[in-house]
Amino acid sequence: MELSQHHQTAEPFETDLDEPEHAVYILRLYITGSTPKSTRAVHNLMKMCQEHLAGLYELEVIDIYQQPELAQVEDIIAAPTLVKKRPLPVQKVLGDLSNAQRLVSGLGLPPRPVDGGSGDL
């Protein structure tokens, strides 16, 4: 009976690994205070998440001035840096995240159909 319960508990997790398009994305954005570049990165990332990952993401914004130990653990050497923790593989995207195509590609998301836009957020 216990094995069955464990199997039921692991099943959604295994499904997330097998089907990344339905997985919850765990994202961490490392910024440096409220600089213009950091503010743009937060704005651009929020917009991308709303358009591509609505209801399928968890986002943590980390100011490396306030929590330098977290940046050190993650080997962050520049900011802003976005780290996608889940689904695997872990990926990093540097900069203010204004290039939508680069951001989507860096996170391993399928591209959206072309609508005549410029590709920028």
pLDDT digits (tens, 9 = 90+) for 3-58: 333 334 444 444 444 455 568 999 999 999 999 999 999 999 999 999 999 999 99
pLDDT of residue 113: 58
Cα–Cα distance for residue pair 52/3, rounded to 1 Å: 37
DSSP bridge pairs for 62: 30
Q: Where are the domains of the chain?
A: 29-80+96-106
pTM score: 0.74
- CA dist., res. 29 & res. 10, Å (int): 28
pLDDT for 21: 55
pLDDT at 1 > cutoff 70: no
Q: What pLDDT is attached to residue 2?
A: 37
Q: How far apart are CA 85 and CA 15, in angstroms?
A: 17
CA–CA gap between residue 115 and residue 54 (Å, rounded): 19
Q: How far is CA 117 from the centre of its chain?
A: 22
